[in-house]
Each structure stands twice: as structure tokens, then as C-alpha cells.
Amino acid sequence: MRISATMQKALNDQLRKEFGASYLYLSMAAYFAEKNLNGFARWMRMQAMEEAKHAMKIFDYVEDRGGRVTLEGIDRPPPDFPSALAVFEHARDHEAKVSSGIHQLFELAGAEKDWATQAMLQWFITEQVEEEKTSSQIVDTIKMIGDNASGLYMFDKELGRRGSSD
């Protein structure tokens, strides 16, 4: 069964949001690189790549269902942040927004009795649980570190190991 026009439009909008998230994380990576927090920068670069993969998963799915992918403009992400904590709080809040969007898509798919799209979206729902958990844990850790430069330095090194053993 071909994807409905309504679902196609909604998935294309989510595709834009996923690429936007990738762009946002690259902006965060650039901010951290400028601050010489290269571990945080690496973590954000990897997060950006992951978000781009999520976008491509939707891109491929729309095509697989006989739909048409349409790419819309991506909002400019903020270039500056007040602190490392503010960056990760922004990331955490952004992930919560992404989860909300996925849930709305899931509800739309159910209303349309589009079980294939619901099944595909289940992967995203599970992924978002992990994304929200990880970003919340990072925020909590940075809050514990507080103004301790040594603690921030050590946590930067820890997050910089992302991908080394994943």
C-alpha cells in the first residue's frame, strides 16, 4: 500500500527536523571545539552523524513506500551558548521535542491504519528513549561537576571516547 499524502508530508517534515538536529549538533560541536573541549566536540559530531542517519532512514522509508521525498529549508542553529551545561540542556530539551514529534507521527499512523509506518516508527521511539536518557545523564553529570574545571576536563575526555568501543 502506498503511503498517504498526509503521512508523506508528516514524514518529510520529520526528515527536515532530523537533518536540523544534525545541523544543531554540528553547531554545538563547533562551539565546543572553539572552547578547546574537544571530547565534547567529538561527542556532538558523532551525534550529528547519528541524526543524519536517522534522517536517511526516513528518507529511504518514504521512497520504499512509493512516496516522494521533498527537502525543505533547515533553521539556522544557535552558534553560541553560555556554557557547556547550557549546550547539553539544549540538546536534552531538543531530544524531548524530537520524541514528541515521533509520538505524533505514531498517532497519525495509527489513525490512518498505516501499520507499516507505525512499525518503522517503533524503532525511533525506542531510540528516543536512549537519546533522552543519555542527554539527561550528561546534564546531571555536568551539574554535579559545577564550576570544577578539573572535573569538566575529565568529563570532556570521557565523552571524547564515544565511538572508541561502541
Predicted confidence (pLDDT) per residue in 65-90, tens digit: 999 999 999 999 999 999 999 999 99
In a domain, 166, yes or no: no
Question: How far, CA to CA in Å, does 45 sit from each of 28, 42, 51, 78, 161?
Answer: 8, 5, 10, 16, 12
- What pLDDT band is residue 166 in, cutting at 50, 70 and 90? very low
In a domain, 93, yes or no: yes
CB atoms within 10 A of CB 157: 13
In a domain, 164, yes or no: no
Using CA atoms in the order 103, 104, 105, 110, what is the torsion angle rounded to 10 degrees?
90
Range of the domain at 139: 5-159
> Hey, is 153 helix, strand or coil?
helix
In a domain, 165, yes or no: no
In a domain, 68, yes or no: yes
In a domain, 121, yes or no: yes
Supply the DSSP symbol for 74: -
Nearest to residue 39, comparing CAs of 148, 144, 138? 138
pLDDT of 94: 96
pLDDT of 98: 94
In a domain, 22, yes or no: yes
- Count how many domains the chain has: 1
Q: What residues contact 117, with CB distance under 8 A and at least 6 apart?
A: 3, 7, 11, 61, 65, 105, 109
**CATH code, 103:** 1.20.1260.10
In a domain, 56, yes or no: yes
Question: In the predicted model, what is the mean pLDDT of the chain?
Answer: 95
Whether the per-residue pLDDT at 154 is higher than 80: the answer is: yes
